[in-house]
A and B are shown apart, each in its own frame.
Chain A
Amino acid sequence: MEFVVNKREFVKALSRVQSVADKRSPMPILTNVLIRAEASGAVHFAATDLLLAVTGTMRADVKKAGSVALPARHIFDTVKALPEGEVTLTVEKNFQARIKGARRRFDLAGAPGEDFPSLPEVGNVPMMSLPAEDIAELIALTSFSMSTDDTRPHLAAALFETHRAMLRMVTTDGHRLSKAERSVSGVQTGSKLLIPAKAIHELRRLVDEARSEKREDGSPAMISLGAASSQGPVFFQRDGMTMSSKLVDAAFPSYEQVIPTSTDRSVRVSRQALLEALRAVSLVSADRTFGVKLSITPGRMVITSENPEIGAGMDEIDATLTGPDVVIGFNSKYVIDVLSSLSCDEVVLDLSGELDPGVVRPEGRTDYIGVIMPMRI
């Protein structure tokens, strides 16, 4: 196998796939990137950890077709270390790869491309096209409340729901829940996909790349999404890139039951003011829990925290309260996560009793809800 390609193109293609390779896998082949050159001039890249797979294609001057599996980390580092300009990759007998740029070269030991596991293919899976911007927003609004506990795979995941012209993403870790929605056209009805956290993080990269590339016709960047079935795999595609992931084979909790249907109190505050106050006051939170107390009366919200070993902190911001006074404790980190993910000027906190969940939503909008369980402070 032999091809010549511009170094930047090569690095870009490798950077997309190398992060997926499982560098600690007991299966050595999974630590590699598969590179397959076709006589037509297409060079395909693939990496997988058997949960996720990413494939990409670039154009090159292919002198001789063939395939090889090369160590993901080493091929990426060595190509990056070559001088700018043309790079030649040649695979000799015994799958020894020579990567050469100008007068600098590296020899890497490879493995037969045929040893690489076969990856899921889109085939006839129906795909729907969604604006990358919307997917990016949904991820930003919800990914922070995914559980990091791998022993609860149904919570270490994000629920992707499509319903009528609505794309919805929901995550929870049992302490807070985030639900975000976007209206999109061309959506299939009634599909529910539970996508593992690792795939969500890779999807974020895919979406960010799509958004960062300016399109010649000025149209918005789009991502295609499709799943063979509710058991998966799910596919995400953009120009020349396909990401597939297994889906979590478990039921997501009935999240509607977590969201309070009615509350006794509603507080409207400036998002930025509350964010700053929480960041400051939580510096002296009690019991190392980031716990802060919100005392809300008509016209003002007092944020306090107290730690017998350090001292106490207090701040006060303007607030518009509908309903009786309330004092409630929260983990400030959870509220800060929600407020940081929003971009609106004002937020509304819907509250009932001091032991009932609180709801944070952007003022005047219904497409986002953050539910946060309180703390007894």
Chain B
Amino acid sequence: MSGDIESVISNAAKGTLLPVYLIGGDERLLVQRCVDAIRHATVGAGPRGLAEDHFDGKGLSASVLMSAARTLPMMARHRLVIVRGVDQMGTAEQEALIAYFAKPEPRTVLVLVALQLDLRRRIANEAKKNGFLFVAQHPKEGEIGPWITREAARRRLQLDPGAVESLALLVGPDLSLLSDALDRLSLYAYARAITADDVEQCITPVREIAAWDLSDAVTSRNLASGLAVLGRLLAQRQPALPLLAVISRQIYQLAKAKQFLASGEKGSLAAALGAPPSAAQKIAAQAKHWSPQQLARALKILAATDSALKGARRGDERVLEECLIALAGGPGMGELADPRRPRGA
């Protein structure tokens, strides 16, 4: 639903405004940008002037708010009324706002910002019915990289592709944190392209890493990302065998998907894989990057890795690193000598 927020921002830039906005969601940066865009389109970006009123929702009386919203603007085309923390207003006060939704003052733009938007509340439902509800959510996994690239372009920063990946990996989908990271990187790598090394040097990993981040990196054949994720998972004391199991399951799913698509069988891929449709779609897309020979080789590598981990002759991290290198197309477990035997033995 963050697309809605983007559309509010682009519409505001064109001067198209609604009389009421109820804005909330986890993505605080987008919420703030949305409010800024509405303010800019309504009363300009300068210091607060005669035609705007700002309120804190906690303890705010509906009569004060309604009085401000209903009063025509002084020396401006529109009056801007912003309430931060509308969710902290009392229920009775919110009811007055709901009544306002039905007949808003056309020359007022009322912006209601919820700090913790509960979509089950009446105010959210009524705002939705009237087309006034906008929810800013963190971007999905595949949207983080493009967002970083767009944001860097907006700031006229040059980012190496590796830097984009590392940043997405270390910081995750929180746009406020990503924006802050870009601020720091722009200072660190002043007047030159930002590299993955710069990201490594400056940015503290804040993102929670999960095992499927590793399987995603493997199936998308991104070795740098895979090794970085592996390092962080092991640093989080994740045991090696369950990690290998997650990778193996994903490779098996790719193989099954490849076979299903090649066979031309009728029925749904999701049913064949026993996965939700969205997951099946993703697996099908990833399977296109793997040939049957590569998948067969990957399964051998995984078997050898499993054996090496259970042999416990070498460190888990080293075994899994070699596995990832081999899965990415490099020399690895399957082609080497007996993995149970220590190197050089």
Binding site for B on A (CB under 8 A): 149, 151-152, 154-155, 172, 174-175, 177, 250, 253, 257-258, 287-291, 331, 333, 355, 357, 373-377
Does A375 contact B96, Cβ atoms closer than 8 Å? Answer: no
B75 contacts across to A, CB distance below 8 A: 253, 257-258
Docked complex Cα distance between A253 and B52 (Å): 13
* Cross-interface CB contact of B74 among A250, A355, A357, A376, cutoff 8 Å: A357
Q: Is the CB of A290 within 8 A of B74?
A: no
User: Which among A151, A331, A375, A376 is the interface contact of B48 at CB below 8 angstroms?
Assistant: A151
Residues of chain B whose beta carbon lies under 8 Å from any beta carbon of chain A? 47-54, 61-63, 66-68, 70-75, 96, 99-100, 105-107
Q: Beyond A174-B74, A258-B75, A376-B70, is A287–B99 a contact (Cβ under 8 Å)?
A: yes
Residues of chain A with a CB closer than 8 A to B70's CB:
287, 289, 291, 331, 375-377
- Residue from A149, A151, A154, A288 in contact with B66 in the complex, judged by beta carbons closer than 8 Å: A288
Contacting residues, chain B, for A289 (C-beta < 8 A): 63, 66-67, 70
Extra contacts besides A288-B96, A375-B70 (13): CB < 8 Å? A152-B47, A257-B75, A258-B75, A288-B66, A289-B70, A291-B67, A331-B67, A333-B67, A373-B72, A376-B70, A376-B72, A376-B106, A376-B107
**B49 and A253: CB pair below 8 A?**
yes
Which of A287, A333, A355 contacts B96, CB < 8 Å? A287
Most chain A CB inside 10 Å of its own CB: which residue of B52, B53, B54, B75? B75
Residues of B within 8 A of A253 (CB): 49-50, 75
> How far, in angstroms, from A155 to B61 measured CA to CA in the complex?
21
Assembled-state Cα–Cα distance A169/B180 (Å): 46
Which listed residue (A155, A175, A258, A377) contacts B68, Cβ 8 A? A175
- Contact in complex: B53, A149 (CB < 8 Å): yes
Contact of A174 with B49 at beta-carbon distance under 8 Å, contacts A287-B96, A288-B96, A373-B71 already known: yes
Q: Is B47 touching A355 in the complex (CB atoms < 8 A)?
A: no
CA distance A107 to B323 in the complex (A): 80
Q: How far is the CA of A257 from the CA of B51 in the complex (A)?
A: 14
Contact in complex: B62, A288 (CB < 8 Å): yes
Most buried by A among B62, B72, B74: B74
**Which residues of the partner chain B approach A257 to less than 8 Å between Cβ atoms?**
75
Is B66's CB under 8 angstroms from A172's CB? no
Expressed in whole angstroms, the Cα–Cα distance for A68 and B240 within the complex equals 71
Contact A374 B50 (CB under 8 A): no
A-B residue pairs in contact (CB < 8 Å), sample of 22: A149-B53, A152-B48, A152-B49, A154-B47, A155-B50, A174-B49, A174-B53, A174-B74, A175-B68, A175-B71, A258-B50, A288-B62, A288-B63, A288-B66, A289-B70, A291-B67, A331-B67, A331-B70, A331-B71, A355-B107, A357-B72, A373-B71
A376 near B63: Cβ-Cβ < 8 Å:
no
> How far, in angstroms, from A287 to B105 measured CA to CA in the complex?
12
Residues of B within 8 A of A357 (CB): 72, 74
Question: Measured between alpha carbons, how far is A170 from B247 in the docked complex, in Å?
Answer: 73
Query: Which residues of A lie under 8 Å from residue B49 when comparing CB positions?
Result: 152, 174, 253
From the candidates A177, A250, A288, A376, name the one contacting B105 in the complex (CB within 8 A): A376
Bound CA span A172–B52, Å: 12
Complex alpha-carbon distance, A5 and B297, angstroms: 101
Q: Please name all residues of chain B whose beta carbon is closer than 8 Å to the beta carbon of A333 when the two chains form the complex.
A: 67
Interface pairs A-B: 6 shortest CB-CB? A288-B63, A174-B50, A289-B66, A289-B67, A375-B70, A152-B48
Assess the B99–A174 pair: CB atoms within 8 A.
no
Question: Once the chains bind, are A290 and B63 in contact (CB under 8 Å)?
Answer: yes
> Separation in Å of the B311 CB from the closest CB of chain A?
64
A236 to B106 CA separation, bound complex (whole angstroms): 46
Residues of the A chain whose Cβ atoms lie less than 8 Å from the Cβ of B53: 149, 174
- Residues in chain A near residue B107, CB distance under 8 A: 355, 376
Contact of A250 among B47, B73, B99 (CB under 8 A): B47
How close is A207's CB to chain B, nearest CB, in angstroms? 28
Taking a contact as CB atoms under 8 Å apart, the answer to whether B66 and A355 are in contact is no
Q: How far is it, in angstroms, between the C-alpha of A376 and the C-alpha of B70 when the chains are bound?
A: 7
A198 to B52, CA, bound (A): 22
User: In whole angstroms, what is the CA distance A67 to B62 when docked?
Assistant: 51
| Cα distance, A291 to B72, chains bound together (Å) | 12
- The contact of B72 among A151, A287, A375, by CB within 8 Å, is A375
A328 CB to nearest B CB, Å: 11
Contact indicator B72/A355 (Cβ below 8 Å): yes
Among A155, A288, A290, residue most surrounded by chain B Cβ atoms (within 10 Å) = A288
Q: Which residues of A contact B48 (CB under 8 A)?
A: 149, 151-152
- B73 and A373 contacting across the interface, CB-CB below 8 Å: yes
Cβ distance B256 to chain A, nearest Cβ, rounded Å: 60
**Most chain B CB atoms below 10 A, which of A174, A250, A291, A376:** A174
A178 CB → nearest B CB, Å: 13
Partner of A290, one of B67, B73, B105: B67
Best-buried of B51, B53, B71 by chain A (most CB within 10 Å): B71
Instruction: Tell me, in angstroms, the Cα distance from A290 to B66 when the chains sit together.
Output: 9
CB neighbours (8 Å) of A149 from chain B are 48, 53-54
* B174 CB to nearest A CB, Å: 27
A276 to B99, CA, bound (A): 29
Residues of A within 8 A of B62 (CB): 288
Cα A367 to Cα B29 in complex, Å, equals: 50
Minimal beta-carbon separation of A283 from chain B (angstroms): 13
Q: Give CA–CA (A290, B69) in the complex, Å.
A: 12
Docked Cα-Cα span, A258 to B96, in Å, equals 30
B99 CB to closest chain A CB (Å) equals 7
Residues of A within 8 A of B52 (CB): 174
| Residues B74 and A375 in contact, CB atoms below 8 Å apart | no
Bound: A375/B73 CA distance, A: 10
Most chain B CB atoms below 10 A, which of A257, A258, A375: A375
In whole angstroms, how far apart are the Cα atoms of A290 and B61 in the complex? 13
CA distance A141 to B67 in the complex (A): 22
